[in-house]
Amino acid sequence: MRSYSFFVIILLCLVLLLVDTLAFYWLRSITKSISLPFVKNSIYSAFWFFTIGLIMSILILKVKLQAIAPSRRQRLISSLYGLTVSSFVPKLIFVIVITVLYFTNYVFSEEASLIVIPVIGVFSGFLPFFVILYAIFKALYRFKTHHIKVKLDELPTSFEGLRIVQISDLHLGSFNYRYHILDRAINTINHLKPDFIFFTGDLVNNYAWELRGWEIVLKKMSAKNGKYSVLGNHDYGDYGQWESSEEKQVNFESIKDFYKKIGFKLLLNEAERIENNGERIAIVGTENWGNPPFKQYGDLQKSLKNVKDIPFKILLSHDPTHWREEVVQNTNIALTLSGHTHGMQAGINLKNRKWSPIKYKYTHWAGLYNYRNQYLHVNRGLGWVGFPGRLGMRPEITFIELVKQ
C-alpha cells in the first residue's frame, strides 16, 4: 500500500476533526429535545471517544509503522482505513444535508422543521453508515460471474465457442490467509469448465510472503487447455520498502516462481501459440504498462515478435490504459483482457448502465469495450486493496465465450 507523509496524515486528521466538530454542533441541536441529561451526555461522550480514538490511532500507527511486522501492518492499515471511511463519509453527508435543510427551512413550517430537519439529518447520516457496513461485511466477498459473448470475424473456425475465464487483482495479502473465501470462487470457476483461465495481474499487494499457503488453494483452478497470467503494478514490489535492491529482486523472483506452483504460465513480454485442427491463435502477455505514476515494464512489440504471422491474438495486459495507447488501431489484436481499476470498488451497475468515480481517471474501467471490432474487457477484480469493502462493484469472475461473427 502507498505510504503517506506525516504532513498528509496530519492534514487528514485535521479534516476528520473539522467534520466531526461540525457534526457534533448539529448533533447537539438535534438532541435538545432529549430531557434526560445522562442520555445526552452518554451520546456526546461516545461521539468524542470514537473521534479522538480514531485520530490517535491514525497518528500512533504512522509513528510506529516501521516497527510493526509487515503482515500485521497491512491488516492494521486496512482496518483503520475501513473505520475512517465508515466514520467520515456518513458524518460528512450528515453535515451537508442538515446544513442545507437549516438554511432552507422556510420550506417547512416552524413546527414541522423541529421534527423534519432532525429526522432527515439523522437518516442521512445513518443510511450511508449502514451502506458502508454492508460493503465491508457482506458485499466484499459476494463473487459475481459476468457472462459475455464476443463475436469476432477473425476467430478460426476450430476455436468457435472457446470458453475463457478471466480473473484479476487477487491482492492475496488482503485476504489475511483466509483460504476458504477463495475456495468458493474457485469452485465457481471450475464449474464453468473453461478452456483457458487468464489472470491479468496483481497477485499480491507488495510482498512474496503474502503467498504463504495459497498454492494449495489456487492450484485447484482447472482449465482444459491451459492457465496463463501476467504481472500487475503491485507485483513488482515498487510500493514496498526494501533495505537493498537485491532484497527487492529476491521478492520479485519469488512472486514469479509462485506461478509455477499453481500451474500458470507467466507471460513476460512473450506469446504462446495455440493450435487446434491445423488452425492457430496466439496468447500474448505484456508486463505492466501504464501512464505515470505507473511504470512501463511492458514491451508490446517484443511480445508480438514471434507471433506476427498469426492473425488472431488475445492480449493479457494489466492496465486498460495500454489498450488505448498502444493496442487499438496500432495492432491487429482482436481481444485484450485487463484489470487494475477494481471499478474503484464502488459504483453503480444497473443492467447496461454502469457508473463509478473511477471513470474520471480511466476511460475504460469496467466491462466490455469495442472499437472497430477490437475488443477490450476490464475485469473489476476478485480481491481488494485499500478500502476493505465493495459497494455496487462486486468481485468479478468473467466468463467469455468467443464466437464467429
Rounded distance, CA 312 to CA 332, Å?
A: 8
Rounded distance, CA 395 to CA 381, Å?
A: 6
For residue 355, give the H/E element and its range. Answer: strand 353-355
Q: Are 256 and 220 in contact (CB under 8 A)?
A: no
Q: Are 175 and 383 in contact (CB under 8 A)?
A: yes
pLDDT in tens, 217-233: 999 999 999 999 999 99
Q: Which of the 8 DSSP states describes residue 208?
A: G
Arithmetic mean of pLDDT, 37-54: 90
In angstroms, the Cα distances linking 27 to 39, 54, 91 are 13, 19, 10
Residue type at position 69: A
Arithmetic mean of pLDDT, 349-370: 92
State how far Cα 274 lies from the chain centre: 31
Buried b (16+ CB within 10 A) or exposed e, 23-38: bbebbeebeeeeeeee
Lowest-confidence segment of 122-131, 155-164, 167-176, 318-327 by average pLDDT = 122-131
- Would you state the pLDDT for residue 128? 87
Share of the chain above pLDDT 90, in %: 68
Three-state DSSP at 69 gives coil
- Would you state the pLDDT for residue 110? 54
Burial class (CB in 10 A: 0-12, 13-18, 19+), 172: buried
Q: Which residues contact 266 (CB under 8 A, 6 or more apart)?
A: 228, 229, 230, 231, 256, 259, 260, 285
Whether the upstream peptide bond of residue 293 has omega within 30° of 0, thus cis, is yes
201 closest CA partner among 75, 285, 307 = 285
Three-state DSSP at 149 gives strand
Arithmetic mean of pLDDT, 246-271: 98
284 closest CA partner among 320, 257, 310 = 310
Burial class (CB in 10 A: 0-12, 13-18, 19+), 104: exposed
State how far Cα 381 lies from the chain centre: 6
Arithmetic mean of pLDDT, 268-287: 97
For residue 399, give the H/E element and its range. Answer: strand 396-404
pLDDT in tens, 59-110: 988 888 777 767 677 778 888 888 899 889 999 998 888 888 777 765 445 5
Rounded distance, CA 32 to CA 207, Å?
A: 52
> In whole numbers, what is the pLDDT of the chain averaged over residues?
91
- Global pTM reads 0.89
Q: Which domains does the chain have, with CATH numbers?
A: 6-137 (no CATH), 141-404 (3.60.21.10)
Looking up cell 465491508, which residue turns up?
A: 136
Helix, strand and coil in the chain, % to nearest 5: 50, 20, 35
Sign, CA torsion 249/252/254/259: negative
Q: Are 396 and 146 in contact (CB under 8 A)?
A: yes
Share of the chain above pLDDT 70, in %: 94
Q: Which residues contact 99 (CB under 8 A, 6 or more apart)?
A: 22, 26
